[in-house]
Amino acid sequence: MPAKPAIYLDANASAPLVPSVRAELTELLKSDATFPSNPSSAHAHGRESRRRIHEARDAVATSWRVRSDQITFTSSGTEANQTVIRSAIKAFSGRSPIWITSSVEHESVRGLVAALRRESVQVEILPVDFRGLISLTDLSHALANFQGRVALVSGLWVNNETGVISPVDSLIELCRKFGVPIHLDAAQAWGKLPLNLGTSGASHVTFSGHKIGALPGTGAIYSDFPLTHALVTGKQERGSRGGTENLLGIVSMGIAARSLVPEIYDRQLRGLRDEFESLIRARCMPVIVQGGEAARVANTSCLTFPGTRPDSLVPALDVLGFSVSTGSACMSGAAEPSAVLLAMGVSEADARASVRVSLHSEVTREDVLNLVEALVQVTVRLRPSTTRDPRSPLRSSAELA
C-alpha cells in the first residue's frame, strides 16, 4: 500500500498552485507548441507572447487597483525587494543616504543591510515590540532626526512568520508627512487582504507570485515613479530589468491574480486557524501564539512550545506526515533561530522550539485535527516530564470532532 501523502501546511513558503493556473497552463501548453516563445521577437509568435504578458499585467493591475504601466515583473520577491531598495538609494539626490527598516523584515531585505553598509549607506534598524510591530513614535523620531537624508523606509505589510499585519496606513501617512518614500513588502498580504494601492500613498510595493498560487520564480513591483536601478541591465520591463521574461511564470501570476477574493479567503480560513489554536492551547500547554495579541492574516499560526528539545518539532512532524516550517523558507536550511522571533524578545531556546503553520484553501478540518494530535504526540515526547502539562492526554480526532 502506498504511503499516505504528507499534509502540506506551509503555504506562506509557497502556496499550492491555484487549480485554474494548472488547468489553463496545461491547456495552453497542449494547444500551442510554440509557447513559450521569446516576447522580444518581432515575429507573430513573439507578438503573441507579448500579448500574454500584457494580459497578465492587466490582471495583476486590476487585483492591486493600479495602472498596468506601474507594474514591473521580476524573477522573485527577493529581486523585487532588492531592486526597489537599491533603486531608491541610487535615485537619492543628497549625500550619505539613510535607509530605515525594521528588525523583522524578510531575509531578502535583512540580507542587504551588511552589503549597503559596506557601500557607505547608513542603515537604521528600528526595534519591534513583543507583537513584532515597530513604534510609530520611533519611526517619527528617526525621520525627524535624519530629515533630508532618508532615501527610503522599508517595512513588511504582513509578517511572513507570524502573520501580524502592520499599521500600513499610519506608516504611509508618517512617511508622507516627512516627504520620504516608503516601500512595503506585501508578499504575504496579496490575496489575504483587500488591496487598493492606487489610493494607498505607498511609493513602492513588492510581491511574489508563488505566494498566491502562481509558479515559483515570479515577482512584481508596484511603483508610483520609475525605477532607476536594475540588478541586470537590459531592455525588458520598460528598461527596468534585463533578461528574457519568465513567460510561463508571468502568465500564471495573471491567472492566479484573477482568482483572488480576499474576503472569501478570510472567511474560509480564519475560523479553522482559530479552532486549531484553541485546541493547541487546551492540549499542548505550555504554548505561546506569537503575535496573537495583534491583528493577523487568517491563515498563519506561529507557535512556541517552551521546553521542547531545540530544532526538533519540524522534523518530528515531518516524520508523522505534516509539512510545517520554522519560519521563512529562505532561512530553512540555516542553523540559526528565527531572527524575527528573537527581535520580538523571544529567547533563543523558545525560538528553537517554535513552528509556523500556514493554511491554504485546500486544507480541511480533518487535516487540522490530525495536526493537533500529532503536536500533542511530539510535544509529550520531546519535552522533559517537568514541562509537560497534565491536561494533555492523547485523544483521537473523532473525540475532538
Give yes or no: residues 104 and 181 share one domain: yes
Counting residues of the chain whose pLDDT is more than 90, the rounded percentage is 79
43-52, 83-92, 229-238: least confident range: 229-238
So what's the pLDDT on residue 3? 60
16-41, pLDDT tens digit by residue? 999 999 999 999 888 877 788 888 78
Give yes or no: residues 280 and 252 share one domain: no
Give yes or no: residues 378 and 269 share one domain: yes
Give yes or no: residues 303 and 218 share one domain: no
**Residues 377 and 322 sit within 8 Å (Cβ to Cβ):** no
How many residues does this entry show for the chain? Answer: 401
Give yes or no: residues 304 and 227 share one domain: no
Within a domain: residue 199?
A: yes
Give yes or no: residues 122 and 36 share one domain: yes
Within a domain: residue 173?
A: yes
- The sign of the CA dihedral 214, 193, 207, 273 is negative
| Cβ atoms < 10 Å from Cβ of 156 | 28
Give yes or no: residues 51 and 200 share one domain: yes
Give yes or no: residues 93 and 115 share one domain: yes
| Cβ atoms < 10 Å from Cβ of 234 | 13
Whether the per-residue pLDDT at 215 is higher than 80: the answer is yes
Give yes or no: residues 216 and 98 share one domain: yes
Within a domain: residue 300?
A: yes
Q: What angle do CA 383, 388, 393 make, to 5 degrees?
A: 115
Give yes or no: residues 268 and 174 share one domain: no
Q: Report the alpha-carbon distance of residue 388 to residue 317 in Å, rounded.
A: 18
Q: Report the alpha-carbon distance of residue 377 to residue 197 in Å, rounded.
A: 45
So what's the pLDDT on residue 54? 95
For 212, the domain range is: 19-258
Q: Could you say which of 258, 291, 307 is where a domain stops?
A: 258
CATH number at residue 61: 3.40.640.10
Within a domain: residue 1?
A: no
Q: Are strands 182-185 and 204-208 parallel, antiparallel or unpaired?
A: parallel
Give yes or no: residues 111 and 134 share one domain: yes
195 conformational bin, left if phi > 0, alpha if psi -120 to 50, beta if neither: beta
Q: How many domains does the chain have?
A: 2
So what's the pLDDT on residue 236? 62
Within a domain: residue 112?
A: yes
Q: Report the alpha-carbon distance of residue 228 to residue 54 in Å, rounded.
A: 22
User: Span 225-238, mean pLDDT?
Assistant: 68
Give yes or no: residues 79 and 210 share one domain: yes
CATH number at residue 368: 3.90.1150.10
Q: Which residues are marked as active site?
A: 330
Question: Phi and psi (nearest 5°) for 34?
Answer: -90, -5
Name the one residue in this structure whose C-alpha cell is 492591486: 64
89-133, pLDDT tens digit by residue? 999 987 789 999 999 999 999 999 999 999 999 999 999 999 999
Of residues 25, 53, 28, 23, the one with CA closest to residue 38: 53
Largest CA distance in the chain: 72
Whether the per-residue pLDDT at 397 is higher than 90: the answer is no
| Cβ atoms < 10 Å from Cβ of 351 | 23
397 conformational bin, left if phi > 0, alpha if psi -120 to 50, beta if neither: alpha
Q: Could you say which of 258, 277, 311 is where a domain stops?
A: 258
319-372, pLDDT tens digit by residue? 999 999 986 555 545 568 999 999 999 999 999 999 999 999 999 999 999 999
So what's the pLDDT on residue 252? 97
So what's the pLDDT on residue 230? 61
Q: Could you say which of 258, 289, 307 is where a domain stops?
A: 258
So what's the pLDDT on residue 93? 83
User: Span 306-329, mean pLDDT?
Assistant: 90
Whether the per-residue pLDDT at 241 is higher than 90: the answer is no
